Structure 1
């Protein structure tokens, strides 16, 4: 599966991309929301992992644009954020994200969410 990882923190990006690659995923990366929107169009990933606190364009707006474009609206987006309040989850879902996970990332939990979303996409 091709995953677009959108993360501006180099250490987080490196750690998460290596762990996803070890699980057999192809990982493409973007470091800000504007790049995320462009990469979603050009790469057509199977799923987007979106940090919400991004430069240039934040993850909330990037998710809204990805979900608002007919060419990318069906691509699942999982919000990743250090903010774990219920309002943050609601805000991410309102922006169009399909799920929400907190940082630091628990890869087992995130993996279950990825698998569930991709399974839902494959269902008729």
Structure 2
């Protein structure tokens, strides 16, 4: 786990970023350092995410669709099957622009599908709405 915005001790809103690419992780940590009131948690595999989710209970999950141990659709299946996690807001992240991938993500229960690289402005706007 790599908490990013920990300088704000009153942070109560949490984001779990499920991503295995170190460069993307570092970039996201930088984004969250500039966002007081939010704490970023990192899981680099689907297995780590499943362990962390019940403890963290994030406001939002940003989930890469291609993880080393499972894909995002499989991970979302585990999330939706767990009654404690079933209501979590989850956004799929992928470089795959194919419409069928978007449709599968929506059908699996993702609230949205964002293309990589992540648009920081879009991320901030989404967080402000939560």
TM-score range with shorter-chain normalisation?
Answer: 0.7 to 0.9
Match of 2:18 in 1: 6
Are the counterparts in 2 of residues 6 and 33 from structure 1 also a CA contact under 8 Å? yes
3-state SS of paired residue (1:94): helix
Secondary structure, counterpart of 1:5 in structure 2: strand
Report if the CA contact (8 A) 1:101-1:110 is conserved: no
Unaligned runs of 5+ in 2: 1-12
CA RMSD, aligned part only?
A: 1.3
* 1:108 counterpart = 2:121: yes
TM-score normalised according to structure 1 size: 0.87
Q: Give unmatched runs, 5+ long, in structure 1.
A: 119-124
- Max Rg structure: 2
Per-residue deviation at 1:36?
A: 1.1
- Greater fraction of residues in helix: 1
Kept in 2: contact 1:47–1:75 (CA 8 A):
yes
TM-score by length of 2: 0.83
- SS in structure 1 at match of 2:88: coil
Which piece of structure 1 moves more, 82-91 or 7-16?
A: 82-91
